[in-house]
Amino acid sequence: MTEARAIVFPQQSVFPQQSPDMRPEDRTGCPWHDVKSMLRDVGLRPTRQRMALGWILFGKGDRHLTAEMLYEEATRAKVPVSLATIYNTLHQFTEAGLLRQVAVDGSKAYFDTNTSTHHHFFVEGEDDLFDIPGADVIIGKSPTPPEGYEVARVDVVVRLRKKG
Protein backbone atom coordinates (compact mmCIF):
# COMPACT_ATOMS: atom_id res chain seq x y z
CA MET A 1 0.00 0.00 0.00
CA THR A 2 3.02 2.29 0.19
CA GLU A 3 2.97 2.55 -3.60
CA ALA A 4 -0.53 3.95 -3.58
CA ARG A 5 0.43 6.48 -0.98
CA ALA A 6 3.44 7.59 -2.98
CA ILE A 7 1.37 8.71 -5.95
CA VAL A 8 -1.21 10.68 -4.06
CA PHE A 9 -0.96 14.33 -5.05
CA PRO A 10 -3.09 17.08 -3.57
CA GLN A 11 -6.03 17.84 -5.80
CA GLN A 12 -6.36 21.34 -7.21
CA SER A 13 -9.54 21.73 -5.19
CA VAL A 14 -7.32 21.90 -2.15
CA PHE A 15 -6.49 25.48 -3.14
CA PRO A 16 -9.80 27.18 -3.84
CA GLN A 17 -9.36 29.86 -1.24
CA GLN A 18 -7.55 33.00 -2.27
CA SER A 19 -4.44 33.81 -0.45
CA PRO A 20 -2.96 37.19 -1.29
CA ASP A 21 0.47 35.60 -1.37
CA MET A 22 -0.58 33.01 -3.90
CA ARG A 23 -0.18 33.76 -7.55
CA PRO A 24 -2.97 32.80 -9.95
CA GLU A 25 -0.87 30.09 -11.56
CA ASP A 26 -0.09 28.62 -8.13
CA ARG A 27 -3.74 28.66 -7.36
CA THR A 28 -4.91 26.95 -10.50
CA GLY A 29 -1.84 25.12 -11.74
CA CYS A 30 -2.65 26.15 -15.28
CA PRO A 31 -3.08 29.84 -15.97
CA TRP A 32 -4.06 29.45 -19.60
CA HIS A 33 -7.15 27.37 -18.95
CA ASP A 34 -8.19 28.71 -15.59
CA VAL A 35 -8.67 32.40 -16.16
CA LYS A 36 -12.38 31.83 -15.97
CA SER A 37 -12.31 30.20 -12.56
CA MET A 38 -9.74 32.73 -11.41
CA LEU A 39 -12.16 35.55 -12.27
CA ARG A 40 -15.10 33.74 -10.70
CA ASP A 41 -13.09 33.10 -7.54
CA VAL A 42 -12.67 36.82 -6.98
CA GLY A 43 -16.25 37.64 -7.92
CA LEU A 44 -15.62 39.08 -11.39
CA ARG A 45 -17.89 38.03 -14.20
CA PRO A 46 -15.77 36.30 -16.87
CA THR A 47 -16.69 38.51 -19.79
CA ARG A 48 -14.97 37.91 -23.09
CA GLN A 49 -12.78 40.98 -22.68
CA ARG A 50 -11.73 40.08 -19.15
CA MET A 51 -10.98 36.54 -20.27
CA ALA A 52 -8.89 37.72 -23.21
CA LEU A 53 -6.95 40.23 -21.13
CA GLY A 54 -6.59 37.70 -18.33
CA TRP A 55 -5.05 35.23 -20.73
CA ILE A 56 -2.57 37.80 -21.96
CA LEU A 57 -1.70 38.86 -18.42
CA PHE A 58 -1.50 35.55 -16.62
CA GLY A 59 -0.55 33.13 -19.37
CA LYS A 60 3.16 33.91 -19.40
CA GLY A 61 4.40 33.76 -15.84
CA ASP A 62 5.26 36.81 -13.80
CA ARG A 63 4.97 40.05 -15.69
CA HIS A 64 5.10 43.78 -15.17
CA LEU A 65 2.93 45.65 -17.63
CA THR A 66 1.68 49.18 -18.05
CA ALA A 67 -1.76 49.78 -19.52
CA GLU A 68 -0.10 50.86 -22.78
CA MET A 69 1.97 47.69 -22.95
CA LEU A 70 -1.11 45.53 -22.40
CA TYR A 71 -2.97 47.56 -25.02
CA GLU A 72 -0.23 46.86 -27.56
CA GLU A 73 -0.25 43.16 -26.80
CA ALA A 74 -4.01 42.96 -26.98
CA THR A 75 -3.99 44.75 -30.32
CA ARG A 76 -1.32 42.39 -31.64
CA ALA A 77 -3.39 39.44 -30.40
CA LYS A 78 -6.39 40.89 -32.27
CA VAL A 79 -8.38 41.47 -29.10
CA PRO A 80 -10.72 44.37 -29.89
CA VAL A 81 -10.42 46.53 -26.80
CA SER A 82 -10.00 50.23 -26.05
CA LEU A 83 -7.32 51.73 -23.85
CA ALA A 84 -10.07 52.90 -21.48
CA THR A 85 -11.31 49.32 -21.08
CA ILE A 86 -7.74 48.20 -20.44
CA TYR A 87 -7.42 50.75 -17.64
CA ASN A 88 -10.76 49.72 -16.13
CA THR A 89 -9.92 46.04 -16.32
CA LEU A 90 -6.48 46.51 -14.79
CA HIS A 91 -7.98 48.43 -11.89
CA GLN A 92 -10.73 45.85 -11.40
CA PHE A 93 -8.15 43.06 -11.38
CA THR A 94 -6.05 45.03 -8.90
CA GLU A 95 -8.99 45.67 -6.60
CA ALA A 96 -9.86 41.99 -6.75
CA GLY A 97 -6.31 41.11 -5.69
CA LEU A 98 -5.22 39.50 -8.95
CA LEU A 99 -2.69 42.21 -9.71
CA ARG A 100 -0.52 44.50 -7.71
CA GLN A 101 0.01 48.06 -8.81
CA VAL A 102 3.54 49.42 -8.68
CA ALA A 103 3.80 53.17 -9.08
CA VAL A 104 7.12 54.17 -10.59
CA ASP A 105 6.53 57.73 -11.72
CA GLY A 106 3.54 59.91 -11.15
CA SER A 107 2.36 59.15 -14.63
CA LYS A 108 3.41 55.57 -14.89
CA ALA A 109 1.84 52.61 -13.12
CA TYR A 110 2.96 49.07 -13.67
CA PHE A 111 0.73 46.13 -12.94
CA ASP A 112 2.44 43.10 -11.50
CA THR A 113 0.99 39.60 -11.87
CA ASN A 114 3.00 38.57 -8.82
CA THR A 115 0.99 39.85 -5.88
CA SER A 116 3.30 38.46 -3.21
CA THR A 117 5.54 40.77 -1.22
CA HIS A 118 8.60 41.73 -3.23
CA HIS A 119 10.49 44.80 -4.41
CA HIS A 120 11.57 46.17 -7.76
CA PHE A 121 14.40 47.56 -9.81
CA PHE A 122 13.47 50.22 -12.32
CA VAL A 123 15.88 51.13 -15.12
CA GLU A 124 15.58 54.82 -15.83
CA GLY A 125 15.32 55.71 -19.48
CA GLU A 126 14.55 52.15 -20.48
CA ASP A 127 11.29 51.91 -18.56
CA ASP A 128 12.18 48.43 -17.46
CA LEU A 129 10.74 47.18 -14.18
CA PHE A 130 11.82 43.86 -12.76
CA ASP A 131 11.86 42.01 -9.45
CA ILE A 132 14.66 42.29 -6.95
CA PRO A 133 15.49 38.66 -6.30
CA GLY A 134 14.79 37.16 -2.92
CA ALA A 135 14.37 39.38 0.05
CA ASP A 136 17.42 41.30 -1.06
CA VAL A 137 16.35 44.71 0.14
CA ILE A 138 17.68 46.61 3.06
CA ILE A 139 14.99 48.51 4.79
CA GLY A 140 15.98 50.22 7.97
CA LYS A 141 13.74 50.29 10.95
CA SER A 142 10.13 50.34 9.86
CA PRO A 143 8.67 53.77 10.61
CA THR A 144 6.15 53.97 13.37
CA PRO A 145 2.78 54.68 11.79
CA PRO A 146 0.66 57.51 13.17
CA GLU A 147 -1.89 56.78 15.85
CA GLY A 148 -4.74 54.69 14.48
CA TYR A 149 -2.82 53.40 11.45
CA GLU A 150 -0.85 50.30 10.63
CA VAL A 151 1.66 49.68 7.85
CA ALA A 152 -0.21 47.90 5.06
CA ARG A 153 2.76 47.29 2.80
CA VAL A 154 6.23 48.58 2.07
CA ASP A 155 6.99 49.06 -1.63
CA VAL A 156 10.58 49.65 -2.60
CA VAL A 157 11.52 50.71 -6.11
CA VAL A 158 15.27 50.95 -6.56
CA ARG A 159 16.02 53.11 -9.58
CA LEU A 160 18.94 52.12 -11.77
CA ARG A 161 20.90 53.83 -14.51
CA LYS A 162 23.70 52.58 -16.71
CA LYS A 163 27.17 53.35 -15.40
CA GLY A 164 29.10 55.68 -17.55
- Judged by the rule CB under 5 A, the positions of this chain that interact with Zn ion are 112, 114, 131
- Measured from the CB of residue 116, what is the shortest distance to Zn ion in angstroms? 9
Kindly tell me which of 27 and 81 has the beta carbon lying closer to Zn ion.
Answer: 27
DSSP 132: P
> Could you tell me the smallest distance in angstroms from the CB atom of residue 111 to Zn ion?
10
First vs last C-alpha separation in the chain = 65
Q: Is the Cβ of residue 41 or residue 112 nearer to Zn ion in the bound state?
A: 112
Identity at 18, one-letter amino acid code:
Q
- Supply the DSSP string of 60-117, one letter for each residue: TSS-EE-HHHHHHHHHHTT----HHHHHHHHHHHHHTTS-EEEEEETTEEEEES--SS
Of the pair 73, 131, the CB lying nearest Zn ion is at 131
Minimal distance, residue 26 CB to Zn ion, in Å: 15
Could you tell me the smallest distance in angstroms from the CB atom of residue 64 to Zn ion? 6
Which H helix or E strand runs over 37? helix 35-41
Whose Cβ is closer to Zn ion: residue 32's or residue 130's?
A: 130
